[in-house]
Amino acid sequence: MSDEQLALLYADGNNKAFDILLSRVQNKLFSYIFCMVKNEEMANDLFQETFIKAIMKLRDGKYKDQGKFLFWVTRIAHNVIIDHFRDMKNSHVVDAPKENDLGNIRGDSVLETDRESTLVNEQVMKDVRQLMEALPEVQREVVYMRYYQEMSFKEIAEATGVSINTSLGRMRYALINLRKLSREHSIELQLA
């Protein structure tokens, strides 16, 4: 039986069909989720949430045999991951203390300062990219992986085929060289 047929059987009340379906797709789906969040505990939680949502949709008759079941459940997982990151972002809101009255700040000054900060940050990032071009390739690679791809040093070591200590050392020398180059060219590398 195909995954799609098993999904429809489960929707009709056949629990055994779901067990078979789960065993077929769980490794691929978990790998996808883990690849997105890079945290095993979080991936397990999101995997469970994905299947709870899939079960509810199947029971509500919201699954139609229009294509691959794996793609359908992967789309659910994608939405669960997006919701998770959105919730994490929103949970970092800080309330101002009562004595901090922000009502007397004029909107124009805030917008002006914000635009200025944005321009400063854009220039700093442009300067960093130019300075990175002057680094030796192995140092440039580590900086790119760490700051632009947000990889851990363990992941960098695995991707480049070196030890963690070597990747840490390359980063250390890259930062030393970036500081030296920024002093030589009188470039300020502080974000606003």
Which pLDDT score, from 0 to 100, does residue 16 have?
Answer: 92
Instruction: Kindly report, residue by residue over 43-66, the tens digit of the pLDDT.
Output: 999 999 998 998 898 888 888 767
Q: Which long-range contacts (CB under 8 A, 24 or more apart) does 180-187 make?
A: 181/131, 181/134, 182/127, 182/131, 185/131, 187/127, 187/131
Region of poorest pLDDT, from 88-102, 159-173, 174-188: 88-102
Instruction: Kindly report, residue by residue over 66-108, the tens digit of the pLDDT.
Output: 768 888 899 899 999 999 988 887 765 555 555 555 554 455 5
List Cα–Cα distances, 174 to 78, 121, 138, 184, in angstroms. 36, 21, 9, 15
* CA separation for the pair 154, 162 (Å, rounded): 10
Q: Are 88 and 39 in contact (CB under 8 A)?
A: no
Which pLDDT score, from 0 to 100, does residue 184 have?
Answer: 84
Which pLDDT score, from 0 to 100, does residue 13 have?
Answer: 87
Q: Are 21 and 10 in contact (CB under 8 A)?
A: yes
Evaluate if pTM is beyond 0.85. Answer: no
Instruction: Kindly report, residue by residue over 107-144, the tens digit of the pLDDT.
Output: 555 555 567 777 777 787 777 778 888 888 888 888 87
